[in-house]
């Protein structure tokens, strides 16, 4: 009886997850602003991570890897667009912070998932985590960059020493 109840709960929860995933995919497709894309990607990423976890736990590695590739592509695209936008992350950190925090949490979730999987399924997750960490470091560098142009107001690197 308990197993049937758990199965029913999973079946009922799945459409909600799919609806949220589809909703965030549609929002992302309509949005061009890099900051908004970063914020939407964080929400989409959360939904994708839920689906990725479910797929791997249900022994559907092919679906899990497909969703993992989508997740990686979405986060990398949002990060690269944000970094290429020319926005000053120190003055307007909004999207940068959202995405950096999401990546940090996503890396932890993927690490937890990799510990629960057979060795042969871990490679794709580890590769994704490495790529995300590289992007996270780029976002942190943008957030903490010290002005190198003395014509701009604010402390220069030399003034901090």
**C-alpha torsion angle, residues 121, 124, 128, 129 (rounded to 10):** 40
CB 106 within 8 A of CB 49: yes
What is the chain's mean pLDDT, rounded? 84
* pLDDT > 60? residue 5: no
DSSP 156: B
- Token pair, residue 123, equals 């490679």
- Reported residue count of the chain is 161
Give the Cα separation of 99 and 78 in Å (integer). 8
Question: Is the pTM higher than 0.95?
Answer: no
Q: What is the pLDDT of residues 7-57, one digit of tens each?
A: 334 444 444 557 888 898 999 999 999 999 999 999 999 999 999 999 999
DSSP 117: S
Confidence of residue 123 (pLDDT cuts 50, 70, 90): very high
CB 128 within 8 A of CB 110: yes
Residue with the two structure tokens 């925090």:
101
């Amino acid at each position: 009886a308990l197993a049937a109840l758990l199965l029913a709960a999973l079946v009922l929860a799945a459409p909600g997850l799919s609806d949220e995933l589809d909703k965030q995919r549609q929002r992302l497709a309509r949005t061009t602003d890099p900051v908004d894309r970063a914020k939407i990607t964080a929400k989409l990423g959360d939904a994708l991570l839920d689906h990725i976890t479910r797929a791997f736990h249900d022994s559907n590695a092919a679906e899990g890897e497909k969703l993992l590739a989508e997740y990686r592509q979405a986060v990398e695209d949002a990060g690269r667009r944000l970094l290429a936008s020319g926005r000053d992350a120190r003055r307007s950190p909004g999207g940068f912070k959202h995405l950096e925090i999401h990546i940090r949490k996503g890396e932890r979730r993927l690490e937890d998932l990799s510990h629960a999987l057979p060795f042969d399924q871990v490679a794709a997750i580890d590769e994704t985590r490495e790529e995300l960490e590289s992007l996270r470091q780029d976002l942190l560098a943008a957030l903490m960059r010290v002005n190198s142009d003395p014509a701009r107001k604010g402390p220069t690197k030399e003034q901090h020493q």
